[in-house]
Structure 1
Amino acid sequence: MDRRSALTPDALAMMDTIARTGSFAAAARELGKVPSALTYSVRQLEDALDVLLFDRRSRQAQLTAAGEELLNEGRRLLAEMDAVAQRVRRVSTGWEAELTIAVDDVLSRLTMLELCEAFYALRPSGPNEPGPGTRLRLRTEVLAGTWEALVSGQADLALGVPADMPAPPGIEMKPLGAMPFVFAVAPHHPLASLPEPIGDDEIVRHRAVAVADSATRLTRITVNLLPGQDVLTVSSMQAKIEAQLRCLGCGFVPEVLVREHVRHGRLVVKQVKRQRRVGGMAYAWRSAAVPQPKKAPQGLALQWWVEQLASPATRQALLDRHHPQHGLRGCE
């Protein structure tokens, strides 16, 4: 018998029973076997792995170091097998094995995690049954990257896509809301002391801070950068705000994200001659009319998320709720 054939679920369960009951005789009674049959099975397993699993000098079922390792890994594998079986059963009832959600960098992480918490708390088959079994995968994107993740098939749902994107066949889109932006600089930045409104001829003389669009195939979106202006490019809106706090540049930032910085004087909002930016956002998902290969058309997990987004309060929280109101809850 080779090693792979020897490491069956039955063999792992046998090891668990022997260790839990403390003796071959007790394990044999629980498994409905005679002790000699159990001893023979253990010897077969030891021969296949070329190790000793139990210390024969002890009257009790005393595991060796190798036996302890096999027991620990065996219990983990058995738990994973049970989890796979549960997920397969959920898929057969319409719950996806995995759901990927692309989220624009400026949306509320707090709200997203609370939605995940509510999703994992679902008990579709009853209060004492396991949850949906769908694995959630969240990915953070910027500007056109959020849209690209959806249309390229890398995401099933996209939150915060530009509202003016034309939806191709197979994609449904609904408004998420508007996020106002303000032009902000550090209080010791040269633009902070200029009379308002400030024109582009002054702004272009100072470095801008920009967040890199995460798209790799679609045309990347460039917002509010002037021709010839020096640019510091960062990977996230939070990094952009940090850079502007350090007086490394200027630029438009979401008002809700810098509200506290402005209130405490760490940033100064300046009126500019150009039109104040308002970022119109939408959410989009793959339509049930165009099923994906090897996937159920619009599974129950996606339906649940779309239903949550139908709530105006949820959409507003994604745009506005960036600071915790209460302490974090511990695991239960």
Structure 2
Amino acid sequence: MTSPITLDALKVLDAIERKKSFAAAADELFRVPSAISYTVNKLEDDLGIALFDRSKRKAELTSVGIMLVEQGRLILKATDELTHMAKQSAEGWELELRICIDSILLFQPIYTLIAQFQQEYPWINIRVTEEVFGGTWDALVAGRSDLIIGATGEPYNSDFSLYKLGNVDFVFVVAKDHALIKEQQPLSNEIIKKYPSVVVADSSRNLPGRSAGLLDGQSRITVSSIEKKIEAQLLGLGVGFLPIHRIKSQLESGQLVILALETTENRNSELCMAWRNDNQGKALAWFVSNIQQMAVKLI
């Protein structure tokens, strides 16, 4: 069954309601008044419903007519949006860009970039997620994300483009009143193992999980993000390595204290940004270009 309610009829009703007259609606739609009247009369006849109360000096919408105008405007708006979406898709713009940020990074610089993007391209949706360790790569490999920022390690295959953002240095820290501060430094592994380690759980769903800084036999407190790990160590719940760029203020205020260790192994990670080679989206290209220019601000 074909509905008699066409987009053209909805546009006519919308114009009449806004302009408050058939003649003014005709002028706006570049039609003669008789064409406007014909559209309304035909719609009423096809529906078997009166949309205007003609008993008064000036035709007014009935309650059904008001409902049809209000709901019709939603349909007209959705149609306009669909038209725009089709055009932008044909021009290479994504309807939505999914960005995954590793927990190790501060989100604020990316949020600032998103705000700039929205000023230029407000019709494109942005979805931001957070992952940890292998979970960042997992999001890209599984297709849950279009762009990952702050991933560590090499790509799992040649399907991805990669841009190196720089190195993150880690330091072993404890809360200012933690018992380890009283121990002689540099600290041995045997001394450290007496206290729980605060670790961040790998959020990978399909790829092998990763971990770092764990000692055999050491109890652990597992949290969901670097931010939660910092909070736990500030409370003295445990010890562990933290990225120095995330705790500068806590180190300056003395809330966290860096301790020297007997082991001198290198504690840094090279971070990267990655995306699929076959993704030619313009929104993705915009973010890749701008993040390359601001990479130093992320770490």
TM-score under structure 2 length normalisation: 0.85
Change (3 A) 1:158 1:43: same
Give the 3-state SS of the residue equivalent to 1:188 in structure 2: coil
The reply on whether 1:106 has 2:95 as its aligned counterpart is no
Over alpha carbons, which structure has the higher Rg? 2
Aligned to 1:228: 217
Aligned to 2:270: 280
Change (3 A) 1:284 1:55: same
Change (3 A) 1:226 1:59: farther
One of 112, 117, 120 as aligned partner of 1:119? 117
For structure 1, list consecutive stretches of 5 or more residues without a partner in the other structure.
123-130, 292-296, 320-332
Aligned to 1:269: 258
Give the 3-state SS of the residue equivalent to 1:232 in structure 2: strand
Within-5 A mapping of 1:177-216? 177-216=166-205
Distance of 1:257 and 1:176 partners within structure 2: 16
Query: Aligned-pair distance for 1:189?
Result: 2.0
Aligned to 1:149: 139
The reply on whether 1:160 has 2:150 as its aligned counterpart is yes
Amino acid at match of 1:257: R
- Whether the 8 Å contact between 1:104 and 1:160 is mirrored in structure 2 is yes
Query: Aligned-pair distance for 1:177?
Result: 0.7
The reply on whether 1:40 has 2:38 as its aligned counterpart is no
- Backbone CA RMSD of aligned residues: 2.8
Aligned to 1:169: 158
Query: Aligned-pair distance for 1:46?
Result: 6.1
Amino acid at match of 1:315: A
Give the 3-state SS of the residue equivalent to 2:112 in structure 1: helix
CA deviation vs aligned residue, 1:206-254 (integer Å, no higher than 9, x gap): 1222212110000111111222222222212111111222222222112
Amino acid at match of 2:38: A
Distance of 1:183 and 1:44 partners within structure 2: 80
One of 307, 312, 321 as aligned partner of 2:289? 307
Distance of 2:134 and 2:69 partners within structure 1: 49
Give the 3-state SS of the residue equivalent to 1:121 in structure 2: helix
Distance of 1:84 and 1:283 partners within structure 2: 32
Give the 3-state SS of the residue equivalent to 2:172 in structure 1: strand
- Whether the 8 Å contact between 1:204 and 1:229 is mirrored in structure 2 is yes
For structure 2, list consecutive stretches of 5 or more residues without a partner in the other structure.
none
Distance of 1:227 and 1:6 partners within structure 2: 74
Distance of 1:208 and 1:22 partners within structure 2: 72
Distance of 2:186 and 2:251 partners within structure 1: 18
Aligned to 2:126: 136
- Whether the 8 Å contact between 1:167 and 1:173 is mirrored in structure 2 is no
Aligned to 1:329: none
Distance of 1:29 and 1:117 partners within structure 2: 40
Identity rate, percent: 36
- Whether the 8 Å contact between 1:19 and 1:61 is mirrored in structure 2 is no
